[in-house]
Amino acid sequence: MEGNDKMSLSIKHVSKVFVNEKGEEVTALGDINLEVEEGEFICILGPSGCGKTTLLRIIAGLDDPSSGRAEIGGREITGPAPELAMIFQEYSLYPWRTIIDNTAFGLEVRGISKEERYAKAREYLDLVGLKEFEGSYPYELSGGMRQRVAVARALCSEPQVLLMDEPFGALDAQTRNTMQKELLEIWKKTKKTVIFVTHSVDEAVYLSDRVVVLSPRPSEVREIVTVEQERPRERTSLEFAQVRRYVLSLIHNGNE
């Protein structure tokens, strides 16, 4: 995918139809349209089963849309590409590899020399505060630390866009809040575009520039809510509560 230096991302009339076990067609995504500017932090929110992860996988090039197209830099996404990196809820770390080898795995696959890939891996492990754990194994780290390794591994391949599928969903509330703060610090430093799927309205309002609220299946973009508050945001503030309440109303009304 060469060409346009401006890595804006476009989702144009994307739909997705599955065939269930009974042989019946199920439309997960109805007609999704979205424009994401370079450097934006976007959260995708919606009721369970509305196709949030399916949409993210289409953007990542892991699934094909039934109709429509996703584009980055003006070029259609037809499969996994170096401009895109996906972080899953499961840490997806190799338990037999050290933290630095997990982090550098993508560079190793691309044939980058050990010296060069280790230098790059250490740079990003330092960014997420785990440089001193480079010789450890995943089982020796907490859940939050393992997810930070997953973020470092994604960043190590130097993508333009980070796609995050409920990456903090398995963490306890305190660790989740800490990881949200750390992710925003990493985002400010790296200036990556982030598209973040979550079930949590609080998380979406805390993190994002804009919250994309999807309707129930077959989902469409119900509304895009711009969060005007400056960061860091105070969850107990009146302004935060007002945005949170409004986003909740969009989801609840959409389920009626």
pLDDT number for residue 143: 87
- Domain annotation covers residue 18: yes
- Domain annotation covers residue 49: yes
pLDDT in tens, 118-169: 999 999 999 998 999 999 999 999 988 998 899 999 999 889 999 999 988 8
Domain co-membership, 124 together with 244: no
Q: Could you give the number of structural domains in the chain?
A: 2
Q: Which residues pair with 16 in a beta bridge?
A: 29
For range 13-30, the mean pLDDT:
91
- Domain annotation covers residue 42: yes
Domain co-membership, 74 together with 195: yes
Tokens (6 digits) for 160: 């333009």
Domain co-membership, 43 together with 112: no
pLDDT number for residue 255: 55
Domain co-membership, 4 together with 112: no
Tokens (6 digits) for 2: 């060469």
Rounded-to-integer distance, Cα 153 and Cα 85, Å: 9
Residue 150's φ and ψ, nearest 5 degrees, are -60, -40
| pLDDT of 1 over the 90 cut | no
| pLDDT of 89 over the 80 cut | no
**Radius of gyration of the chain from its Cα atoms, rounded to whole angstroms:** 18
HSE toward the beta carbon, residue 15, CA cutoff 13 A: 11
Domain span at residue 141? Answer: 93-158
pLDDT number for residue 75: 93
- 154 within 8 A of 162, measured Cβ to Cβ: yes
| Global confidence as pTM | 0.90
Which of 158, 182, 198 is at the close of a domain?
A: 158
Domain co-membership, 241 together with 189: yes
